[in-house]
Amino acid sequence: MGEPWNTKLSRIERLELHQLETFTDLKSELKEGEKENLSVPHLQEGTHLIVLQTNHAFIELEADKFNAYLKEDGLDDVLNYRTKHGLTEKSGKESYARYAKLLVQVGDKRDATFKKSAGMPIEIFIQKNPYTLNVGELVKFKVMFKNKPLFGAKVMVWNRFDNRTTIQPVYTLQDGTIEARISAKGIWMVSVVKMVPAEDKSSDWESYWGSLVFGI
């Protein structure tokens, strides 16, 4: 189902509205609180991209919870490292940030905004404008991490329709791509997590949470 995020302006690095070659900084329009944080009136007809980037926050999880989280999100390289170095009984200290994209359609005019790069460290792209897709269609996504295709990442493809959530886990190929079938109408989210050793020694690991949301 998801849950409202108790928004803190201090956590927001970027909040932008993109439409073709133009963009508007929305950060000053954001309200702190649990819901109804942002209103963007008078959008022009076409496809729009909303970009959200947070700064890094710190979390420490108990060993069992951290190991389970690594397994659930397909972070096998990190879990293998902890196993190899005898760290599976040790808590996990992590610095994390979120990099979210939301594609919104206004009216009937479709355009190429869906292709636009937000220039974030981790970013998910969709092959076609999702607002031209039909139920049953196969569509390709590409995951980029620091300007390179991300290979072997566990990508979760979520659909929320008719009060039900379904999830397809798919691993990226060498070119960073996955394919998923649009099985239903409703809200779709494609999400991925990449974790690397932290440069800041106050953490063990640094994670990048990428997502792309659209509707069918």
Domain annotation covers residue 205: yes
The residue written with tokens 């950060």 in the block is 27
Instruction: Output the pLDDT for position 38.
Output: 84
Average pLDDT of every residue of the chain: 94
What does the pLDDT look like over 19-33, one tens digit per residue? 999 999 999 888 887
Q: Look at strands 92-106 and 46-54 and give their pairing.
A: antiparallel
Distance in Å from the first CA to the final CA of the chain = 17
> At 77, is the secondary structure helix, strand, or coil?
helix
Domain annotation covers residue 137: yes
How many CA atoms are closer than 13 Å to the CA of 61, on its beta-carbon side?
A: 14
What does the pLDDT look like over 41-92, one tens digit per residue? 788 999 999 999 999 999 999 999 999 999 999 999 999 999 999 999 999 9
Domain annotation covers residue 208: yes
CA dihedral 111, 97, 167, 176 (to 10 degrees): 60
Domain annotation covers residue 172: yes
Domain annotation covers residue 3: no
Domain annotation covers residue 4: no
Q: How confident is the model at residue 40 (pLDDT cuts 50, 70, 90)?
A: confident
> At 145, is the secondary structure helix, strand, or coil?
strand
Percent pLDDT > 90 in the chain is 85
The number of domains in the chain is 1
Domain annotation covers residue 85: yes
